[in-house]
Amino acid sequence: MRAAYDATNLYLAYEVTSANDLVNEIGDPKLLFKGGNCLDIQLGTDPTADPARKTPASGDVRILVTRRDGKTIAVVYRPKSKGFAGQPTVLSSPANKESFDSIETTDRVALEYKKTPGWIRRGRDYSAQSDRTGSQSPAPA
C-alpha cells in the first residue's frame, strides 16, 4: 500500500493479489465485512494515543471500501467518539465482539478500481501470468 495526502484528501493505492474481485453483496452496510472483499483502512487520528494500544482510542476510525452493483460503497466505523453518550452498536461473531459508537456510510470516498494481470491464486498453487510489460514471471517458491 502507498499513501499520500494534500490539504483536503488522503490518497491510498493498493495492489491486491486475489482470485476474487473487489465485490461485496451484503445488504446491511453495518455488516459489510461479512459479504465479500473489502479494502480495510484503519487510522489512528490521535497523536497522543499509545501507538502500542490493543484497543481503540477516541478518534480511531476504520473504513471499509468495496463495490456493490458496480458502485463504490464505503462504511466508516468509529469505535470511540469523544463525548458519545448513546448506546454503542455491538457487532459479534463466534470469535469476537466489537463495539462502535458510530457506523455510517459515506459518499466522500472515491474508488478507482482496475484489474491488472498478475498472480492468480488457485487453491494452494499460484499460477504465473504475464505482468504489465507482457513478460512472464515465475511462480513463487
The residue with cell 456510510 is: 105
Please tell me which residue, 46 or 124, carries the higher pLDDT value: 46
Across the range 48-74, mean pLDDT stands at 92
Least confident of 33-37, 40-44, 58-62, 88-92: 33-37
Cα 83-84-85 angle, rounded to 5 deg: 110
**Rounded distance between C-alpha atoms, residue 32 and residue 78, angstroms:** 15
Contact 66, 58 (CB under 8 A): no
The 10s digit of each residue's pLDDT in 72-97 is 999 999 999 989 999 999 998 888 89
Output the average pLDDT for the chain: 83
Using alpha carbons only, give the angle 31, 124, 136 rounded to the nearest 5 degrees.
105
Give the global pTM: 0.77
